């Protein structure tokens, strides 16, 4: 059976609709899984329609590639730890980028052999190669930073932005030259330089800006797919590319807004990095006039509370404390305490990271609330437990106009009656800014590993001898 061109076009249209419905499914957790299945159906339809079309005639390499890819992809998906999700996502972005580059160059070779090249096509090819190559190396660097292979510190040197601008202009020039002349040398050099741009674009960005970078590369991978669609004259690729490109762009915007920074500032700012420091935590705290509290103090207030709000941050993921938190939640609920989780948009290393980790620990999603939703509840809350978050509860963002984080929307934990801040040391948050919340009368620090501290609370609650 061979599909006619028109039948194939109709199949692609249905596939595009299925993808739109798939994304629409993510409007609510109750419809999300169905959405994902619609996405799978859309993909199966697209692949089937392509294979049955007149253009695909030899199948050996295709079958080998799909089978190998299916095995690798399935194993990755089944084995990956939820804390490592940002790394997986970065790796997958790099694959889309590289695939786009290979498709563009492969198309060039095929069209050249068929003597079917023209300047418009070659211009589209250049766009595919440049965006794909930047996505590839950029994602590889992001992966390295997330995995800890490359230092999370921003790499900066003087004249960096000027150098980047020059490389970008030369790359663009080569792209135009290639489109006009079809020179293979221009194509090769342009590809190489685009790979370099991916690296130089991402190395100056600090490890803590990763939520924005992950979103941004998500967007690039979409634009790479769209450019491939233009090259091949394939509307399905164009539609999907636009959807994915906008998805990443909107996520980048949401992340930047949640930090009160512009995307330009993130890309060119080189903010933050991991600061060192290992002085005796309690001693430093005492010196600064910060109160410290024991696990028992915190438990004493929590078990008699009406409402406890837990604020998780990246530190919770590092300590793998989410499962202990679930147990704490259940014990408190058994005592009639209302327990809620408040999540800041940039908590973690990618958008929505905390929500997935809490869901992994079986914490129902209706207990987890977003910043705007939960902020009005703080003044009537008895105890707030901050687990591995820092800057996102810093009142300096509201009160200190000289602070680098001034203007950033925060979770207003300081308005609660008691705040217990679980901390490993007095190290500041990624912004390097001192947290003014520590000096408030209602705030105490509980020093130690987040997971051990919460397990201690669980044991104390089980003991229940007050």
Site for other proteins in 103-142 (CB under 8 A): 103, 105-107, 109-110, 113, 120, 124
Binding mask 153-192 for other proteins (x = CB under 8 A): ----------------------------------------
Yes or no: say if 277 and 430 are a contact pair by the CB < 8 Å rule: no
Residue 158, classified by CB atoms within 10 Å of its CB into exposed (0-12), middle (13-18) or buried (19+), is exposed
Give 239 or 446: the residue with its C-beta nearer to other proteins: 239
Residue 6, classified by CB atoms within 10 Å of its CB into exposed (0-12), middle (13-18) or buried (19+), is exposed
Yes or no: say if 317 and 348 are a contact pair by the CB < 8 Å rule: yes
Q: Is 376 in the site for other proteins (CB under 8 A)?
A: no
Provide the token pair at 145: 């930073």
Q: Is 359 in the site for other proteins (CB under 8 A)?
A: yes
User: How many residues bind other proteins, per CB under 8 A?
Assistant: 113
Q: Smallest gap, in angstroms, from Cβ of residue 126 to other proteins? A: 14
In angstroms, rounded to a whole number, what is the distance separating the alpha carbons of residues 144 and 154? 13
In angstroms, rounded to a whole number, what is the distance separating the alpha carbons of residues 75 and 96? 18
Give 60 or 465: the residue with its C-beta nearer to other proteins: 60
Among the listed residues 127, 174, 197, 214, the single contact to other proteins using CB under 8 A: 214
Cβ density class 208-228: b for 16+ within 10 Å, e for less: bbbbbbbbbbbbbbbbbbbbb
Subset of residues 215 to 274 that bind other proteins, contact rule: CB under 8 A: 215, 218, 221-222, 224-226, 228-248, 250-251, 254
In angstroms, rounded to a whole number, what is the distance separating the alpha carbons of residues 380 and 395? 18
Subset of residues 21 to 50 that bind other proteins, contact rule: CB under 8 A: 22-24, 26-30, 32-33, 35-36, 39-40, 42-43, 46-47, 50
Q: Is 87 in the site for other proteins (CB under 8 A)?
A: no
Among candidates 217, 218, 179, which has minimal Cα distance to 198? 217
Of the ranges 210-218, 277-285, 382-390, 417-425, which one interacts with other proteins (CB under 8 A)?
210-218
Q: Smallest gap, in angstroms, from Cβ of residue 436 to other proteins? A: 26
Give 346 or 426: the residue with its C-beta nearer to other proteins: 346
CA–chain centroid gap for 380, Å, is: 32
In angstroms, rounded to a whole number, what is the distance separating the alpha carbons of residues 240 and 19? 8
Helix (H) or strand (E) holding 323: helix 322-334
Q: Is 20 in the site for other proteins (CB under 8 A)?
A: yes
Q: Which of 372, 391, 400, 441 is flagged as catalytic? A: 391
In angstroms, rounded to a whole number, what is the distance separating the alpha carbons of residues 199 and 219? 17
Subset of residues 398 to 457 that bind other proteins, contact rule: CB under 8 A: none
- 441 in catalytic set: no
Place of tokens 């500041």: 428
Of the ranges 141-149, 356-364, 433-441, 444-452, which one interacts with other proteins (CB under 8 A)?
356-364
Q: Is 98 in the site for other proteins (CB under 8 A)?
A: yes
Residues classed as catalytic: 391
């Amino acid at each position: 059976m061979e599909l006619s061109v028109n039948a194939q076009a109709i199949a692609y249209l249905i596939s595009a609709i299925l993808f739109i419905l798939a994304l629409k499914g993510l409007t609510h957790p109750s419809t999300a899984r169905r959405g994902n299945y619609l996405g799978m159906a859309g993909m199966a339809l697209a692949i089937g329609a392509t294979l049955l079309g007149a253009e695909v005639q030899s199948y050996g390499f295709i079958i080998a590639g799909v089978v190998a890819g299916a095995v690798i992809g399935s194993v990755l998906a089944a084995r990956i730890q939820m804390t490592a999700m940002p790394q997986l996502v970065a790796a997958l972005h790099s694959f889309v980028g590289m695939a786009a580059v290979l498709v563009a160059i492969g198309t060039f070779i095929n069209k050249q052999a068929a003597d079917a090249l023209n300047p418009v096509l070659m211009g589209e090819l250049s766009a595919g190669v440049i965006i794909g190559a930047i996505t590839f190396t950029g994602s590889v660097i992001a992966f390295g930073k997330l995995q800890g292979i490359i230092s999370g510190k921003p790499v900066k040197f003087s004249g960096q932005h000027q150098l980047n601008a020059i490389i970008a202009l030369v790359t663009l020039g080569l792209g135009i030259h290639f489109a006009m002349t079809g020179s293979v040398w221009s194509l090769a050099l342009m590809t190489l330089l685009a790979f370099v741009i991916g690296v130089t674009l991402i190395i100056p960005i600090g490890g803590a800006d990763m939520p924005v970078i992950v979103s941004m590369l998500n967007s690039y991978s979409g634009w790479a797919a769209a450019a491939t669609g233009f090259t091949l004259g394939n509307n399905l690729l164009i539609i999907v590319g636009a959807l994915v490109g906008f998805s990443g762009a909107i996520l980048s915007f949401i992340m930047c807004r949640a930090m009160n920074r512009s995307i330009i500032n993130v890309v060119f700012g080189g903010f933050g990095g991991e600061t060192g420091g290992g002085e005796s935590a309690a001693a430093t705290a005492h010196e600064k006039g910060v109160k410290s509290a024991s696990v028992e103090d915190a438990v004493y207030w929590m078990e008699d509370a009406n409402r406890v709000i837990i604020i998780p941050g990246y530190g919770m993921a590092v300590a793998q404390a989410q499962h202990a938190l679930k147990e704490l939640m259940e014990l408190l609920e058994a005592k009639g305490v209302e327990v809620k989780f408040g999540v800041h948009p940039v908590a973690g290393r990618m958008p929505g990271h905390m929500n997935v980790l809490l869901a992994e620990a079986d914490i129902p999603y209706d207990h987890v609330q977003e910043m705007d939703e939960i902020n009005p509840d703080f003044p009537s809350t008895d105890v707030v437990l901050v687990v591995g978050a820092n800057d996102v509860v810093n009142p300096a963002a509201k009160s200190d106009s000289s602070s680098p984080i001034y203007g950033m929307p925060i979770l207003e934990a300081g308005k609660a009656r008691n705040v217990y801040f679980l901390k490993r040391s007095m190290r500041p948050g990624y912004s390097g800014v001192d947290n003014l919340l520590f000096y408030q009368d209602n705030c105490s620090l509980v020093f130690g590993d987040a997971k051990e501290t919460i397990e201690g609370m669980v044991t104390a609650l089980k003991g229940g001898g007050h």
